[in-house]
Amino acid sequence: MRERIAQALAHAHIALTPVDDRSGSHGLAVLTDVSGATLAQLRQLSSQATVLAIAAGPAALSTADSWALLAAGAADVLPWPDERIQIEQVTARLARWEAVRKLADTPKVRSALVGASVAWRTLVRSVVEIAAFTDSPVLITGETGTGKDLIAQAIHRLDRRGGRFTVLDCSTLSLDLGGSELFGHERGAFTGAATARDGALAQADGGVLFLDEVGELPLSLQAQLLRAMQEHSYKRIGSNHWQRTEFRLLCATNRDLEQEVLQGRFRADLFYRIAAWRCRTPPLRERREDVLPLATHFLSLLAAPAGAPGLDPGVREYFMTREYPGNVRDLRQAVTRAWHRHVGPGPLTIGDIPPDERPVGTGPAAWPDPRFEAAIGQAVALGMPLSRITQAAGELAIQLVLAQEDGNNQRAAARLGVTDRALQIRRKGRQKT
Ligand SMILES: Nc1ncnc2c1ncn2[C@@H]1O[C@H](COP(=O)(O)OP(=O)(O)OP(=O)(O)O)[C@@H](O)[C@H]1O
């Protein structure tokens, strides 16, 4: 069955990627069962490539199995029960994924949205797809300093209509003048309205309107904004004339808007309107792997046009283990402070960390962190032997570094402090088991 499918795909110049080959940007996995082992393999492959799972076999794939394949990381699942191969189904999906991958790899995306973690890269791919292939509103949620603003700017850069980017920070809107900021006003509409003025809705016409901190939008303005979105027209304050406007709406908030809706502080109808697509920027603590690439990125901005200094091992460990309640903004500020204290050639050293930010005491570094201890505790409680625990921890480290290094064995080996050959042997051994 697998060979027949491979032949049919080869006819359309599509190479079938074995489930255990993690080198390509796309994977086509042909599955004949949905066992635990298959799902584990799929999980590995999809951390590196976009995987289309083709479920071949005489028995129809159950919906539950399809969900399980998606949960294991497959980007899509095509059941292929009766050997009638619809190549177009495969080619259409691959073409879209390739287009998304290319866009996500363009300098305008890569250099602005820095991050190597799987969570961040998955987010960037989905943002690129929503931005470039739809015109729908997007709600960006996430803690403060996680990059919501940057994501909004990236969506604007990828937006098909290419109009201007109009930003309105809803936390600065007063009850009295907020309406004028959004809709504009006529001369003499209220005390102090000496001249007529356009609002954000007029400025955004033909482009993108970004409402930052949308959770702060006063209820009275929420109703008016909803009407403007539904009818694509609005009235300036003090005017009887409707004006048309067409824009793409992006909103960001660090509030839980669904909770706000339940508590009656945000209109449900507006919420569903602005949240046609949703994306969440993960906090930095959920993607520690991004800390050093981000720190290096900020250093290169600070040091430009001269090259950025490196980070010596002590500083790397300091940045990796530090807490970041303000997320990436916090990291950026910490890097900036260390950079300002740094003098002369050579890498940043721990002496560059301001005294009041240094870890208290000289004890061992704060690794392993408590979550690691909890995971090991769970493995021990499940009765796993030491060999299995050690192997799993090593496998995970290899998997993470390979994903960050785009599958490059040499770079991954250097980062893990092993030889190229040793890593290759270990990967081969894993593929056989
Ligand atoms: N992935 C990233 N790559 C490069 N810089 C980033 C990234 N994420 C965040 N930053 C930087 O961190 C800072 C905070 O980002 P941003 O303003 O986009 O966060 P935010 O989620 O909108 O914050 P807030 O909710 O407080 O408005 C900015 O200086 C931004 O350039």
Angle of CA points 141, 332, 365, to nearest 5°: 100
What's the CA-to-centroid distance between 150 and ligand 1, angstroms?
Answer: 6
Give yes or no for residue 300 CB within 6 A of ligand 1: no
Cβ of 391 closer than 6 Å to ligand 1, yes or no, is no
The tens digit of pLDDT for each residue in 51-82 reads 788 776 666 678 888 888 888 888 888 877 66
Distance between CA atoms of residues 132 and 134, nearest Å: 6
Categorize the per-residue pLDDT at 19 as very low, low, confident or very high, splitting at 50, 70 and 90.
very low
pLDDT confidence of residue 97 = 85
Q: What is the pLDDT of residue 283?
A: 95
Given a cut of 70, is residue 312 above it in pLDDT? yes
Q: Which residue has the higher pLDDT, 366 or 30?
A: 30
Give domain limits for the chain. 2-103, 109-282, 286-357, 370-432
Matching CATH number, 370-432, of 1.10.10, 3.30.1600, 3.40.50, 2.40.10: 1.10.10
Ligand 1 proximity of 146 Cβ (cutoff 6 Å): yes
Q: Does the complex come out with an ipTM higher than 0.95? A: yes
Strand 50-56, strand 26-31: pairing: parallel
Sheet harboring 138-142: ordered strands across? 165-169, 208-212, 248-253, 138-142, 277-281
Closest CA to ligand 1's atom 8: 147
Label residue 22 by pLDDT band (50, 70, 90).
very low
Tell me which CATH code domain 109-282 carries: 3.40.50.300
Task: Please give the average per-residue pLDDT across 204-223, as a whole number.
Answer: 94
The three-state (H, E, C) secondary structure of 222-263, written as one string: HHHHHHHHHHCEEECECCCCEEECCCEEEEEECCCHHHHHHC
Residue 198 Cβ contacting ligand 1 at under 6 Å:
no
* CA dist list (Å): 46 to 101, 122, 329, 337: 14, 11, 30, 38
What pLDDT score was predicted for residue 84?
67
Predicted local confidence at residue 255, as pLDDT: 94
Q: How confident is the model at residue 21 (pLDDT cuts 50, 70, 90)?
A: very low
Q: Which CATH number fits domain 286-357: 1.10.8.60, 3.40.50.2000, 1.20.1260.10, 3.20.20.80?
A: 1.10.8.60
Tokens of 91: 């080619």
- CATH of 2-103, picked from 3.40.50.11540, 3.60.15.10, 3.30.1360.170, 3.40.50.2300, is 3.40.50.2300
Cβ atoms of 119 and 286 within 8 Å: the answer is yes
**Ligand 1 atom having least distance to the Cα of 152:** 18
Q: What is the pLDDT of residue 13?
A: 63
In testing the pocket of ligand 1, which one of 110, 146, 336 has its CB within 8 Å of the most ligand atoms? 146
**Mean pLDDT score across all residues of the chain:** 85
Residue 145 CB–ligand 1 contact under 6 Å: yes
